[in-house]
Amino acid sequence: MSINNRYHRQIILPEIGTSGQDKLNASKVLVIGAGGLGCPVLQYLTAAGIGTIGIIDFDIVEASNLHRQVLYGESSLGENKALAAKTRLTDLNRAITIHAYPEKLTTENALSLFSEYDIIVDGTDNFSTRYLINDASVITGKPLVYGAIFKFEGQVSVFNYQNGPSYRCLFPEPPKAGSIPSCAEIGVLGVLPGIIGSMQANEVLKIILDLGNVLNGKLLMYDSLTTQSSTFSIGRTASEISKVLDSAKDFETIDYDLFCGISNVIDIKAGEAFLKKNTQFIDVRELHEQPKIESLHPICIPLGKLEETLNTINKKKETIVFCQSGIRSKKAVEILQKFGFENVSHIKGGAVALFDYQTSKVLSK
């Protein structure tokens, strides 16, 4: 397919032209999270001809994703989202380069990964990762295109751009843990992430092409029920930026879960004593996900069925939840706490971390 034919409707815009298309093709954009927001961002950036796109996500495609994550179909169920997204996007545009990272974004890989890209797009849904992304963007000097959704409302902004404010300038402190329910708990209108994600993609294109007014120092809030939007100014707080830069040397050791008040996380790297306790383990992975960790004798309840099977779980016992990589188990803990479970935690890194210990003979097969 001719490049001119593919991008013709874009190139004939006098504000873009062939020189603008060349800028897009020379750009590198990293999208963190291939979920509700990441899907539309990835689709439109791929279609627009961004030369190199990175996708990092260690979650898998579940049936509950499909009403809003329209990049996937039923054939993608159980697949890693970054890899499934790359397959679909490669079919959309083979003229660009797509890198899939089927792993979790951590303090250990963020700085090296960010340094390979020009613009970072935040498509995540939790505060600890948002602060991690912000700090890594500030340290590496990368513009950050932010988006968030809640029920029928969404937010979009651009941080760390042309000496503008950062995410911490808007939110110096995270909300109290558990005070803001996740989409899994409270729900979300399926079309909303499509709208907000498209706005994020638009900001990326504006930055690259130097067009229009980038949402730098501004927070756009959109209400899908009224179709109204409002824009608020965000001031740059130099002290917040300085704090991040001053702690750059310690970035890899910062515990963002702890900063956000998430204390019910078990890190097996710190010791496996919890494995010897009289606890009940709940595996919230889908039943088709293998292999199982039979040595723990877990109760196997897929996350989507957790609420309807609470009567099978002993409330009086200490409860440890795990999934494949730690995302779903975190959601499971929130659900269990909502229904009165007090002594409940989840395993950082999920089954992946457990298998690492299993191969080290900490767990027996």
DSSP E strands in 80-226: the ranges are: 97-101, 119-122, 144-150, 153-159, 218-223
pLDDT digits (tens, 9 = 90+) for 152-179: 999 999 999 999 999 999 999 887 765 5
Q: What is the pLDDT of residue 356?
A: 62
pLDDT digits (tens, 9 = 90+) for 289-323: 767 777 778 889 999 899 999 888 988 888 889 88
User: How much is the pTM?
Assistant: 0.76
**Phi and psi angles of residue 218, each rounded to the nearest 5 degrees, phi first:** -140, 145
User: Going residue by residue through the chain (365 aa), what tens digit of pLDDT does each one get?
Assistant: 666 689 999 999 999 999 999 999 999 999 999 999 999 999 999 999 999 999 999 899 998 889 999 999 999 999 999 999 999 999 999 999 999 999 999 999 999 999 999 999 999 988 889 999 999 999 999 999 999 999 999 999 999 999 999 999 999 988 776 556 666 667 788 999 999 999 999 999 999 999 999 999 999 999 999 999 999 999 999 999 999 999 999 999 888 876 776 656 766 654 455 565 678 889 999 877 767 777 778 889 999 899 999 888 988 888 889 888 777 888 888 888 888 887 888 887 777 777 665 554 444 33
**CA distances, 57 to each of 30, 79, 123 (Å):** 11, 11, 10
The DSSP annotation for 11-35 comes to HTSTTTHHHHHHHHHH-EEEEE--S
| Residue 94: burial class (beta carbons within 10 Å; 0-12, 13-18, 19+) | exposed
Helices (H) and strands (E) in the chain, counts: 14, 13
As beta bridge partners, residue 318 has: 279
Identify residue 2 by its one-letter amino acid code.
S
Identify residue 193 by its one-letter amino acid code.
P
